[in-house]
Amino acid sequence: MRSLSKPRMISAVAGLSLAAATALLLIARPQIAHSQAPAAFSFGLIGDLGYQPYEEPWLEAVMSDLDRHELAFVVHVGDLATPTRACTDALQAQRLAQFRASAHPFIYTPGDNEWTDCHDAQGVKGGDPLERLATLRGLFFAGEDSLGKRTLPLQRQSKTADPVLAKYRENARWDFGGVTFMTLHAVGSNNGRGRTPETDAEYEERNRANLAWLREGFAHATASNSRGVMILTQANLYPSFPPFPAPGGKEQFPSGFADMRDAVEQEAIAFRKPVVLVHGDSHYFRVDNPYRLRPPRGQQQSQGPENFLRLELFGSPSHHWVEVTVSPDDPNVFTIRPRIVAENLVKRAP
């Protein structure tokens, strides 16, 4: 998301009140992908943290809190800092070292602040988004496994004979405990669409790659009899759903998200088991179903996928994380729990 118009701060008290609604009520029959039911496991989710230098201790507190919990892995959904910091070699090297130091396998998908927004209008003088994208791929996605002190093997979209798809090392997939997980490289700032002819061409190619990876992931989940699917991406694909990141609540046209939004809906309906899409971007912790928008007066409500939920994570200035637990005997598969980092609570006057 553009750093020039970041949304309001979420109060920690509001985050705590949302803990009462952490169980995901997804309608589906229990399905086990393996002959034996896997043990329950939990994992951590973060993104959009450490924007300003004074927030670095808050990010370190989040990383330390993650390390103290027993987690199968951690996923960061992008935005390493504000563009003026995130577009530098120094900040990216710093974040890579932090991710490698994680006690758990650590998976990262890029945000707009570390490449799409690396240009003059975002305060990055002489910035080149496409150069930053190439640097990110070489730095964070060099190997076949996750980052972290413990690693997790990943299936990357780049493992293909297709020369166009071979560059998309950041799109990853893994199976854990009978669930299929996949990252998709979609970012804020309208997914990079609508600024220059060069970035429009990049968007078009990446959008095709993302759609192919999404469909392949659901085909894999179906063939594997996965109990559920989780999609992880940086962009808020639903900028018209309040509270919203889009100025005035109106999505930019042409939209950089419409194709993926439609494809996610179609795949979720066809899959018929629990599907959760995780993103950052607008810094507003929420769990909802944005496909169930209230229609204009006099129009009939469309029936969106009832087995789908969107989870948006905490983001700067709120420095907390989200824990998701997968239970083998739960037909709804995913249970969400906000993890409030005590030392990051806002100090308020008595």
Please report the DSSP string for 270-300 in residue order: HH-S-EEEEE-SS---EEE-TTSPPPPTTSP
The first and second tokens of residue 97, run together, are 């070292």
pLDDT greater than 70 at residue 29: no
Let me know: does 23 contact 101? Beta carbons within 8 Å.
no
Alpha carbon distance 22, 2 (integer Å): 29
Helices (H) then strands (E): counts for the chain:
8, 12
Q: Is residue 319 part of a domain?
A: yes
Q: Classify residue 239: in a domain, yes or no.
A: yes
350 in a domain, yes or no? Answer: no
- Taking the complete model, does pTM exceed 0.75, yes or no? yes
307 in any annotated domain: yes
The whole-number pLDDT of residue 222 equals 98
What's residue 16's pLDDT? Answer: 35
- On the 0-12 / 13-18 / 19+ scale of CB atoms within 10 A, 244 is middle
Whole-number Å distance between alpha carbons of 47 and 55: 13
Instruction: Look at residue 349 and tell me if it is in a domain.
Output: no
Residue 88 inside a domain? The answer is yes
Other C-beta atoms within 10 Å of 300: how many? 6
pLDDT band of residue 241 (cuts 50, 70, 90) is confident
Mean pLDDT of 279-286: 95
Nearest alpha-carbon partner for 204 in 150, 129, 259, 138? 259
In this prediction, residue 346 has a pLDDT band, given cuts at 50, 70 and 90, of: confident
Residue 185 inside a domain? The answer is yes
Q: Which domain holds residue 283?
A: 3-343
Q: The tokens of 83 are what? A: 């563009």
Q: What is the pLDDT of residue 32?
A: 32
CATH code, 282 = 3.60.21.10
- Which of 14-23, 166-175, 273-282 bottoms out in mean pLDDT, i.e. has the lowest? 14-23
- The rounded radius of gyration (Å) of the Cα atoms in the chain is 19
86 assigned to some structural domain = yes
Backbone φ/ψ region at 178: left (φ over 0), alpha (ψ -120 to 50), beta: left
Question: Domains in the chain: how many in total?
Answer: 1
